[in-house]
Structure 1
């Protein structure tokens, strides 16, 4: 499966501090993983569930694929809003099909860029082209996914028929994710520059899930096939709100791992004394931990040593972050 990381907060964070430097940063999650809490994983090769040890470990293999098929990072700086007449804060996105640890351009960008909202994504999938790298941009919004839409090529034509002309015209790649994103933004409406509420994002996501599941069910019934699992860990933001889901279409299958934290921000910020790898305290830090701004991190797996700062998102649940950065974990009801 892919891996992804999202940060939204009052406190600017340096991309290097959250994406590059930590021992468990996303660019190092190509095949090394760190999941501190007990949860169930599903091995797609053996079609069975397995329990993790419940112990933080770099050796535990919850991810059965190697994620070297593309990297993308999207972030907001406010520059576009400052210079354009419409004052809309649209994201900047950098994508590459190189492994991110070998990308010197990415390293330079991250060392000199701070933001209050960032998405980063490691991809496992084909075709390997930059247009298939997440996150995908629709106006002021970004969208990314960990998982797979079952029988996507079999339902693709009928899915396309549900899209608005504007959403269809915003598809540049071939992934199931980008097509689902277009479906989501069809339900959200054609104005992708206006700030909407977290409830509007939630309702659009519910309709998107209902459409996907209905199309898959229709296909399997018409062709007398056993249903396959769709693992749908989606995340969307406009830099003011964030919505994520951890979702599996079959009860017997555990969704890909997903965690959230409202405390790990200072540990990931060199201005504050703690260190993400549990090393010695940063002696040259300039701010006390308690002065760090309100924030939320949602990620496929933790990237700091403090396992108590991270919480597993329950299966088939929303993570809803409103404009005040308050977090609600809510069961998905379809």
Structure 2
């Protein structure tokens, strides 16, 4: 499947998170420890918000992240307070640019690790549930992008947790109608450029790994030798498919069937349950 990270906090160079950690996302593209595949070389993408642009910038490529010179160049020069990084291991859909994450619609970004089981069997029924005007914006053929547009159809812009719950509920209902026992496996990140939501859920209740960082003020006391921690604000947050290093006390597993929100008024975590549609 895939590996991803989402950063929110003090504006930093993308290089600081994408390349510099011992087990960075770039290292994970070759040496993932907790994913289904060790190598995630079926494309990559980075999306970021700048200081004066409402919509995020996105680059997506079909080659592996570890050798891409353009990604290296961008990471050394782009500074952002909120960005996504994703490395892809295809679950069956073609290796093409439009199938790489993150996906964008207006000011919203979305990325996913996991799969809709037996997607080829239930894809048509799911696609018919997408708002016809939104359907015109779908560019690729992945289950991940279709999940995004289903969530948009179900009100993502007004109620992200509810929209994702309704999307998950539809996937499970249609999957069960087609005889699929465990239709959905997902860790999802979605943002509007201000708030960041992350979801961990699977029909089987055995979801792919997802972690968030311990609060920065606590990490400073545990690891005063790490300069990066002195440079970022207390509200800086990282959500990752797998830890970026072995720093003791730095990472916490997101509980099963849970979603969290990173927002200016304070972080929060809640139970996640698919909702019937």
Q: Please give the TM-score of this superposition, normalised by the length of structure 2.
A: 0.89
- The residue that corresponds to 1:69 in the other structure is 42
Q: Distance in 2 between matches of 1:262 and 1:90?
A: 29
On the 8 A contact 1:319/1:329 being kept in 2, the answer is yes
- Say whether residues 1:186 and 2:153 are aligned partners: yes
Q: Which runs of 4+ in 1 moved over 3 A?
A: 262-267
Residues 19, 264 of structure 1: alpha-carbon distance in 2 compared, 3 angstrom cutoff? farther
Q: Distance in 2 between matches of 1:303 and 1:204?
A: 30
Number of aligned positions between the proteins: 270
Residues 162, 106 of structure 1: alpha-carbon distance in 2 compared, 3 angstrom cutoff? same
- Say whether residues 1:248 and 2:202 are aligned partners: yes
Residues 139, 288 of structure 1: alpha-carbon distance in 2 compared, 3 angstrom cutoff? closer
Deviation at residue 64 of structure 1 after TM alignment? 2.9
Q: Spell out, residue by residue over 1:124-146, the C-alpha distance to the aligned partner (whole angstroms, 9 max, x if none).
A: 00411111000000110000000
Q: Distance in 1 between matches of 2:63 and 2:196?
A: 28
Larger Rg belongs to: 1
Gap regions ≥5 residues in structure 1? 34-60, 81-88, 221-225
Residues 153, 265 of structure 1: alpha-carbon distance in 2 compared, 3 angstrom cutoff? farther
Q: Distance in 2 between matches of 1:288 and 1:203?
A: 34
Deviation at residue 76 of structure 1 after TM alignment? 0.3
Residues 124, 265 of structure 1: alpha-carbon distance in 2 compared, 3 angstrom cutoff? farther
1:328 counterpart (244, 260, 268): 268
- The residue that corresponds to 1:239 in the other structure is 193
Q: Output aligned runs, 1:5-16, within 5 Å.
A: 5-9=5-9, 11-16=10-15
- Say whether residues 1:263 and 2:215 are aligned partners: yes
Residues 242, 291 of structure 1: alpha-carbon distance in 2 compared, 3 angstrom cutoff? closer
- The residue that corresponds to 1:114 in the other structure is 79
On the 8 A contact 1:320/1:327 being kept in 2, the answer is yes
Residues 291, 164 of structure 1: alpha-carbon distance in 2 compared, 3 angstrom cutoff? closer
On the 8 A contact 1:264/1:304 being kept in 2, the answer is no
Q: Spell out, residue by residue over 1:40-79, the C-alpha distance to the aligned partner (whole angstroms, 9 max, x if none).
A: xxxxxxxxxxxxxxxxxxxxx4323121000000000033
Q: Please give the root-mean-square deviation of Cα atoms over the aligned residues, in Å.
A: 2.5
Deviation at residue 101 of structure 1 after TM alignment? 1.8
Q: Distance in 2 between matches of 1:321 and 1:167?
A: 27
2:119 counterpart (152, 163, 169): 152
